[in-house]
Structure 1
Amino acid sequence: MQTWVITEENHNARIDKLVVDLHGQASRTHVQRWIQDGAVQVNGSQIKANHKVQTGDRIELIEPEPEEVNIEPEEIPLDVVYEDEDVIVVNKPKGMVVHPAPGHYSGTLVNALLYHCNDLSGINGTIRPGIVHRIDKDTSGLLMAAKNDHAHEHLSKELKAKTTERQYKAIVHGVISHSKGTIDAPIGRDQKDRQKMAVTHVNSRPAITHFILEETFEEYSYVTCELETGRTHQIRVHFNYIDHPIAGDPKYGPKKTLAIAGQALHAETLGFTHPRTGEAMRFQAPVPPEMEELLKELRDKH
């Protein structure tokens, strides 16, 4: 059971919208179904989805067990960068969804991993077996998956302790004037658009992105980003926040942008401590040809 006590900043908020923010993973449709089924209560009483909470109210959520979905192994080619009995590192192509979700129960990285590997950790259930962290559908690059529960717990603890190395390459709008910087701004659900994240102090979590300027062009910059935290859409939200949105980003960037399908963002470097041997592991994957071609065009114009 999860519980929250309403503070003054959320006084008079709708219960369904608020639980979406507080939970961080559930959609509004899911939350409204939970409310209808009595899984969400305020001060021990069942309420309706449009109920307005008051300061001091106690919200209780008994989240129902997720419905079992049969996720089938699929023979999908994988670019395996490293693999042993505990962990597998793959270079995910742009356009591939990481794990099944409504509307995407096939063709995902998980479907491919289930076919490729004899086993994956079961900590995240049947929908996300082995998945320790995610990268967006239209972001390419390195991602690790755990083959057993011990490896999963170890890698998850590393992520939480911020000792995992995750570097990205990105092409962003505008000419950045300083050689390096840190964006320290909390991220939460966008209050105006529930499908987006935003820099906000309302129901948010700390988010820190470091960056180094690699090159500048006439209207764009090429940067290396390092994640200290791993919030949903973090790099995309943070660079939009400082008025340098990722080129090609359909959700956070301008319509007039470079000719690329999806954001020009690539998870280039991944480093972690091996869950069994304690060895420092570090992997790199070069930016994909489409992004390299864009860089060449920008350099030629410049």
Structure 2
Amino acid sequence: MELIIKEGGARLDKALADLTELSRSQANEEIKKGTVLVNGKAAKAKYAVKVGDVISYQVPEEEILEYKAEDIPLDIIYEDEDVAVVNKPQGMVVHPSAGHPSGTLVNALMYHVKDLSSINGVVRPGIVHRIDKDTSGLLMIAKNDTAHNALAAELKDKKSLRKYIAIVHGNLPNDRGMIEAPIGRSEKDRKKQAVTAKGKEAVTRFQVLERFGDYTLVELTLETGRTHQIRVHMAYIGHPVAGDPAYGPRKTLKGEGQFLHAQTLGFTHPSTGEEMAFTAPAPAIFQEILEKLRQKN
């Protein structure tokens, strides 16, 4: 892969991390291995890149993983021949990756659900949409390719119902509203998303459920499904999700990650055409914190 530097001054390792999917430490490792060249020659990590420099590096080969069914407890809310609805616990990754080869929702699905759609290959069998590792709640699972195509099309057409509840910082000035701001990869931190003019359309509706002074319980409805959409949008309007390690403040509610739960999921059944809707209670830690906030007010 070749990259042309458009803005000089940064160290080589930082420039490489900013322009690729590599972390800075990974970029450093690649530079040490000699797989990174500047204008055809090896350079050190501290080299200050110049405008017009051509950086070339060998894209690391993806680790080939063997995905296995694992007997992990799974809360299956609904299941038939075409679809399943599961309540993903907080802390569980949706599908395997180099950093998470096991213990994921997919590993559990392979054990508990006999058939899964093959559209997303062996990495994400049955997975129509995702939620973050530390976000809990409902996900629809496709058990065959026909169902998968129908559910994915409904998501794309913004016809599916996806409602979340979240505890956010501060006291929102309005009881309800709509956040319409494009989301894309952050130019400052490649591992984060941000509201940016170069991003894709993103729309989130919110409604206040309870107010606690320093915190607010809100219901959020997704009209689009961008990566980290709710977390980015709420931070953008100055009310980040409590417990969010990436987009929120350090001083926040203590939990196991962001207080965000996919509570309601609705879709049209791909075979029967029936309108289906499901709800799942928030995790115990979420409910405990809510009770503590209520007792203070």
Q: Please indicate the TM-score interval, normalised by the length of the shorter structure.
A: 0.7 to 0.9
For residue 114 of structure 1, what is the aligned residue in structure 2? 110
Shift in Å, 1:69: 2.7
| Alpha-carbon distance, 1:18 to partner | 9.2
2:137, 2:262 within 8 Å by CA — same for their partners in 1?
A: yes
Report the Cα distance in structure 1 between the residues aligned to 2:17 and 2:283, rounded to whole angstroms.
39
- For the residue of structure 2 that corresponds to 1:300, the secondary structure is helix
Q: Is the 8 A contact 1:68 1:126 kept in 2?
A: no
Q: Is 1:250 the counterpart of 2:278 in the alignment?
A: no
**Distance in 2 separating the partners of 1:225 and 1:287:** 14
Cα shift readout 1:66-123 (whole Å, capped 9, x = no counterpart): 7753200000000010001111100000000000011101000000000111121111
Q: How far is 1:145 from its partner? A: 1.0
The equivalent residue for 1:4 is none
Q: How has the CA–CA distance of structure 1 residues 181 and 123 changed in structure 2, closer, same or farther, with 3 Å as cutoff?
A: same
The residue number in structure 1 matching 2:211 is 216
TM-score scaled by structure 2? 0.82
In structure 1, the partner of 2:12 is none
**Equivalent position amino acid for 1:135 in 2:** I
In the alignment, which residue of structure 1 is the partner of 2:45?
A: none
The aligned runs of 1:129-144 (5 Å cut-off) are 129-144=125-140
- Give CA-to-partner distance per residue, 1:118-141, whole Å, 9 cap, x none: 121111111111100000000000
Q: Which residue of 1 aligns with 2:231?
A: 236
**Structure 1 partner of 2:288:** 293
Please state if 1:89 is matched with 2:85: yes
TM-score in terms of structure 1 length: 0.80
User: What is the 5 A alignment of 1:1-302?
Assistant: 12=6, 68-202=64-198, 204-302=199-297
Q: Distance in 1 between matches of 2:96 and 2:195?
A: 27
Deviation for aligned residue 1:65:
11
CA spacing shift, 1:157–1:18, aligned 2, 3 Å = farther
Deviations 1:30-72 (A, max 9, x none): 9xx9xxx9xxxxxxxxxxxx9989xxxxxxxxx9997753200
Deviations 1:164-183 (A, max 9, x none): 00000000000012110000
CA shift for structure 1 position 289: 1.4
Higher radius of gyration, 1 or 2? 2
How far apart, in 2, do the equivalents of 1:277 and 1:148 lie? 15
Identity, % of aligned pairs?
A: 57
Q: Is the 8 A contact 1:69 1:126 kept in 2?
A: no
- Alpha-carbon distance between aligned partners in 2 of 1:52 and 1:71, rounded to the nearest angstrom: 44
1:12 shift after superposition: 3.8
Aligned equivalents of 1:164, 1:52: Cα separation in 2: 47
Moved over 3 A (4+): 10-20, 26-30, 50-53, 63-68
Q: Cα offset for 1:260? A: 1.2
Paired amino acid for 2:280: A
Distance 1:160 1:13, change over 3 A: farther
* Shift in alpha-carbon separation, 1:126–1:65, aligned structure 2, 3 A: farther
**Secondary structure of the structure 2 residue equivalent to 1:156:** helix
Q: 1:85 to 1:51 in 2, by over 3 A?
A: farther
Secondary structure class of the residue paired with 1:286: coil
Give the match for residue 6 of structure 1. none
Give the paired residue count: 268
